[in-house]
Amino acid sequence: MTDSCLVSKLSHYIDLDEPDRSLITRLEKRERDFPRRHVVREVGDEARMLYAVRDGWLFSSTTMRDGRRQVLQFHYPGDIIGIPDLAFSSATVTLETLTPVCLCPFPKTALDDVFVETPRLAALLFNLGMVDHVVLLDRLRAISRFNAQERISHLILEVVSRLRITHPEIGAHFELPLNQNMIGDAVGLTNVYVSRSFKGMEETGLIRRRGRMLEILDEDDLRRRVGFEDRYFSVDTEWLPRSA
Amino acid sequence: MTDSCLVSKLSHYIDLDEPDRSLITRLEKRERDFPRRHVVREVGDEARMLYAVRDGWLFSSTTMRDGRRQVLQFHYPGDIIGIPDLAFSSATVTLETLTPVCLCPFPKTALDDVFVETPRLAALLFNLGMVDHVVLLDRLRAISRFNAQERISHLILEVVSRLRITHPEIGAHFELPLNQNMIGDAVGLTNVYVSRSFKGMEETGLIRRRGRMLEILDEDDLRRRVGFEDRYFSVDTEWLPRSA
DNA sequence: CGAGGTGTTGAACTTGGTCAAAAGTCGTGG
DNA sequence: CCACGACTTTTGACCAAGTTCAACACCTCG
């Protein structure tokens, strides 16, 4: 077992000591692989487990009665997923893989140990939960008030900024493994209008595309246009309790 | 000092023991009053404090460069506000009162004590944070995919279900202290279209209005129309660590 | 009584949706 | 190496929901 994504994400924020690391290792003991396009769990399923993402991308979504889907979040290596369902006995969202994925499942009750044994780590998880919350608030604002091109721009910026936590080397050029239907379902547009918007953005000189490779031509400019804040970058860990 | 809203909200979910109660009381030691329409703190302000809401309504919002506002959340007695900003050194949202309000401010660092001394309470706060997260996911879905009447219906249901935690006696008839501008800013519509939608809903026989009093004529029907789930009602506290 | 905030209405307009067809793209098997 | 099928993207024509702007009505509270 090489180094864990969870450890590498968390130590991006604080120094982990031995008890922290061994606790995390305990959480990541089991592993399970899933193929591309696999439903890990659906709305209404029993929600006793959480999963640490070791490798691959996933997304969570809900479907309305008329069949339209809303993509709620994307999940990357180092994330713990299923956390929002912590407070419910059955899943509130559907978790589905986007690429082949390796997950480390552990029961909710294992979080007990984190809270009891390593308060500092528990507080960090809380903190990161709040980061996700703020990211979601940003997206709410974007979907509610931006036009199509702005929404898509916002989503792209959100995705790169998250990727850079674990892959700081990512520059303006990267792969976006999402089809236009998925993008539409994430920002509240139809695939048709996503296509038109992409075309428009390419003509304006905001981006360049080749297949799923995407190039952001002027990231600062793009950020300014949508008032994008990189929430993952500057996280306040000052208030966390000192390690025991 | 009579009984605290925070205690009454939290004990809706678990039995609080003596250490828990005394810790909460410590958090609520100081009190501060604010008038209606007062900005408690703005985006960019230093975010060292959290606030327990003792009395009154508030909301959090952000403003875009063009002046349009997005209302993100409403806050009620018993809520702890400012939590999303926990992870940031400056505020990510503006907090503003809707009615006259009494808040109990305490520094972020006081949460340390909660994590170290009462893991069970810390885990409960985490849990409730996740409830708010899911409520936000529901709203994202509503704003992204519903039409005007459905969005407004969803918002109304969200508000009543939250009110009922601390006021279980609330029935179909209650006061909604929000003007149509505010409602529009919350669900991503203009005040004009909020007005038209309300009119439509009244004509269809979904609701009845008189000033700010609102009556839901058939709540089950309304819930079914927008697939509303009451997230506040059925919270899973099974996984929480036992008290020491 | 007057003023400011709030709600309502109308007409013209815009953004994005719908439906349907055409054109790529990519992996698989022959 | 090519052909086929499934999926994805693009394009066009038309449509509908919600916006904008502006005027007016309505409270209510000082």
Average pLDDT, integer, range A146-157: 98
Nearest to residue B210, comparing CAs of B184, B187, B176?
A: B176
Structure confidence by residue, pLDDT tens digits, B23-69: 999 999 999 999 999 999 999 999 999 999 999 999 999 999 888 99
Q: Is residue B68 less than 8 Å (CB to CB) from chain A?
A: yes
Q: Which nucleotide is nearest to A190 (CA to C1')?
A: C17
Average pLDDT, integer, range A92-119: 95
Rounded-to-10 torsion of CA B18, B24, B30, B35: -130
- C-alpha B50/C-alpha B54 separation (Å) is 13
Residues of B in contact with A123 (CB under 8 A): 111-112, 115, 122
- C-alpha B102/C-alpha B33 separation (Å) is 4
Residue of A nearest to B73 (CA): A137
Query: Residue A103: CB partners within 8 Å, gap ≥ 6?
Result: A31, A32, A33, A34, A40, A51, A52, A53, A54, A81
Return the nearest residue to D27, CA–C1': B211
**Predicted local distance difference test score (pLDDT) of residue B156:** 97
Mean pLDDT for all residues in chain A: 94
Structure confidence by residue, pLDDT tens digits, B133-160: 999 999 999 999 999 999 999 999 999 9
**Predicted local distance difference test score (pLDDT) of residue A2:** 53
Cβ contacts from A onto B, under 8 A: 175
Other CB atoms closer than 10 Å to residue A33's CB: what's the count? Answer: 13
**Minimum-distance CB partner of B70 among A141, A188, A231:** A141
**Predicted local distance difference test score (pLDDT) of residue B1:** 47
Q: Is residue B181 less than 8 Å (CB to CB) from chain A?
A: no
Q: Is residue B95 less than 8 Å (CB to CB) from chain A?
A: no
- C-alpha B220/C-alpha A180 separation (Å) is 36
Average pLDDT, integer, range A133-142: 97
**Predicted local distance difference test score (pLDDT) of residue A1:** 47
**Predicted local distance difference test score (pLDDT) of residue A100:** 92
Would the CB atoms of B239 and A88 count as touching at under 8 Å? no
**A125 dihedral zone (left: phi>0; alpha: psi -120 to 50; beta):** alpha
Q: Which nucleotide is nearest to A176 (CA to C1')?
A: D8
Q: Which nucleotide is nearest to B199 (CA to C1')?
A: C8
User: B135-152: string of b/e by CB count within 10 Å (b at 16+)?
Assistant: bbbbbbbbbbbbebbbbb
Give the Cα-Cα-Cα angle B195, B142, A223 (nearest 5 degrees).
100
Euclidean distance between the first and the last CA atom of chain B, given in angstroms as a whole number: 28
**Predicted local distance difference test score (pLDDT) of residue A201:** 97
Q: Which of B49, B140, B155, B223 to mutate to test binding with chain A, by most A CBs within 10 Å of its CB?
A: B140
Q: Which nucleotide is nearest to A209 (CA to C1')?
A: D9
Q: What share of chain B is helix, strand, coil (3-state, %, to 5)?
A: 45, 20, 35
| Strand B213-216 with A32-34, pairing | unpaired
Alpha helices (runs of H) in chain A, residue ranges in sequence order: 5-10, 18-27, 110-117, 119-145, 148-166, 180-187, 191-204, 219-226
Chain D bases under 7 Å from protein CB? 7-12, 17-22, 27-28
Average pLDDT, integer, range A62-85: 94
- C-alpha B97/C-alpha B116 separation (Å) is 32
- Give the pLDDT band (50/70/90) at residue B244: low
CA A120 vs CA A79, A238, B70, B127: distances in Å: 18, 11, 34, 17
Q: What share of chain A is helix, strand, coil (3-state, %, to 5)?
A: 45, 20, 35
**Predicted local distance difference test score (pLDDT) of residue B2:** 52
Residue of A nearest to B108 (CA): A239
More confident residue, B8 or A228: A228
Residues of A in contact with B136 (CB under 8 A): 133, 136-137, 140
The helix (H) or strand (E) run that includes residue B191 is helix B191-203
Would the CB atoms of A89 and B236 count as touching at under 8 Å? yes
Inform me whether the pLDDT recorded for A4 exceeds 90: no
Would the CB atoms of A130 and B92 count as touching at under 8 Å? no
| C-alpha radius of gyration, chain A, whole number | 18
Q: For strand D, is any atom closer than 7 Å to the CB of B211? A: yes
Structure confidence by residue, pLDDT tens digits, A22-39: 999 999 999 999 999 999
- C-alpha B87/C-alpha A130 separation (Å) is 6
Q: Which residue has the tokens 């958090």?
A: B27
**Minimum-distance CB partner of A227 among B64, B234, B235:** B64
Give the Cα-Cα-Cα angle B183, B76, B233 (nearest 5 degrees).
95
Residues of A in contact with B127 (CB under 8 A): 86-87
**Separation in Å: D4 C1' and A211 CA:** 22
Query: Residue A94: CB partners within 8 Å, gap ≥ 6?
Result: A39, A41, A42, A43, A60, A61, A62, A63
Q: Bridge partners of B63?
A: B69
